[in-house]
Structure 1
């Protein structure tokens, strides 16, 4: 009876998450129809809410995979409700990633759900739990770029296209950063079960600083340039141009004004 309750409790979708989805839907409609008096504000709200939705799905993927791998305590922690306030580090999981999007236009990987790894047997299961989150970002990026690589942009408003391009950039940057084999990130979580006990014990103290180290490296011009060159290469392969992501960022930062080039594209 206890096991069944643990498995099935806490699975209803949170009203908080539904509210965020509602904001995403309404502002997406506003961007699509150019209903808003300020198209930039509509893009900002649409991309930000969609980004938060993707963060919730990222953490949900970790939690759901852990549940099916043996950690039946997941349901009682509220992780399956998609409520961003239920995360062990809401500041790291939601607030900081949103701030970094606003300040730097980069999809920063967030904090985590707490998984009781001792309940899970098998290295493949541990690796899959870690991979599930960034794979969600990959899927989200595929959905955002589908109109581009399917050559189905006819009828898609230009401003909405810019928003999708920028949102895709955020998803790809988040996926790449999360998959880095750096302690504290999901990429390290994928390979950690396959490392020797001695290596894992030596690396463990550095896990809390892994994300900070990655962020610090992105301040190095050469690293930053190589990183975004890789992101642009992936986006171009998906049919998204650098101009479209740049215009998406400029519309997102509506308080800075919109460049004339992007305005002229919107008016076409």
Structure 2
């Protein structure tokens, strides 16, 4: 059988993904320049396109790690092209995460690429495949917040600063939520190879509902409070204040009107 790695077309970046990158760059420029007085809409487009790009990179990390681990089928499935339309559940992987961002400003994880686990040998490989996605979100969070923790934000337009902070926060929430060891999420995939077969069989029926379980728990006020306090702590370690994120979310929800900033943007 010919390996997926020998087919260049399996690795060719999709025009859909390139289009998303172009939209992200163009809307980012519009936010930076304040072009045409559409800052709120530009922030919305920048965050949504940037969020979808990060979801593509998340799923690509799973697929590429699986390819290196022995599952050559991911190439023929189109997972290595970064095309979001090739995912097993485009609705779960793209549409629902975007809706969650609009509704509650949270980077809730979506669906996953289908990995043929039977082709992969070794528990560490299985764990790494599951960890690759949320680790990608963590890396993106570090990159997006680099200007903050490097004290390089002095001359950055305030709207772009807040948009960047909000997009970075989505990466942090996605990384943390994905690492929760609930069946159906990547965190469970990390530990699954190391637990007993009997426990795996007991957990398997809950896998389709893992995302709903997490979402439901976040509706509990006590859990929600602890979660957002933790997110605030992590963002603080990265040099991003609650104010940065809050204004970013307000700009993002442009249909409610541009926020009235009454304080000096933090330096």
What does residue 258 of structure 1 align with? 258
Aligned partners of 1:7 and 1:72 also within 8 Å: no
Which runs of 5 or more structure 2 residues have no equivalent in the other structure?
none
Deviations 1:98-131 (A, max 9, x none): 0110111000101010000000000000000000
1:5 and 1:72 map into 2 onto residues whose CA distance is 5
Deviations 1:211-231 (A, max 9, x none): 101100000011001000000
The reply on whether 1:193 has 2:193 as its aligned counterpart is yes
| 1:106-125 aligned within 5 A | 106-125=106-125
Residue 247 of structure 1: CA displacement? 0.1
Aligned partners of 2:183 and 2:203 also within 8 Å: yes
Aligned partners of 1:6 and 1:76 also within 8 Å: no
| 1:155-194 aligned within 5 A | 155-194=155-194
TM-score (norm 1): 0.96
What does residue 64 of structure 1 align with? 64
Which runs of 5 or more structure 1 residues have no equivalent in the other structure?
none
Residue 37 of structure 1: CA displacement? 2.0
What does residue 43 of structure 1 align with? 43
Residue 257 of structure 1: CA displacement? 1.4
What does residue 127 of structure 1 align with? 127
Residue 35 of structure 1: CA displacement? 1.1
Q: For this pair of structures, how many residues does the alignment match?
A: 265
TM-score (norm 2): 0.96
The reply on whether 1:104 has 2:101 as its aligned counterpart is no
Aligned partners of 1:16 and 1:83 also within 8 Å: yes
1:84 and 1:103 map into 2 onto residues whose CA distance is 21
What does residue 3 of structure 1 align with? 2
Query: Structure 1 residues 28 and 72 mapped into 2: Cα distance closer, same or farther (>3 Å)?
Result: same
Query: Structure 1 residues 153 and 6 mapped into 2: Cα distance closer, same or farther (>3 Å)?
Result: closer
Q: What root-mean-square deviation, in Å, do the aligned CA atoms of Structure 1 and Structure 2 show?
A: 1.4
Segments ≥4 residues shifted beyond 4 Å: none
2:69 and 2:3 map into 1 onto residues whose CA distance is 15
Deviations 1:39-69 (A, max 9, x none): 0000000000000000000000000000000
2:204 and 2:187 map into 1 onto residues whose CA distance is 14
What does residue 17 of structure 2 align with? 17
Aligned partners of 1:12 and 1:81 also within 8 Å: yes
Residue 6 of structure 1: CA displacement? 6.1
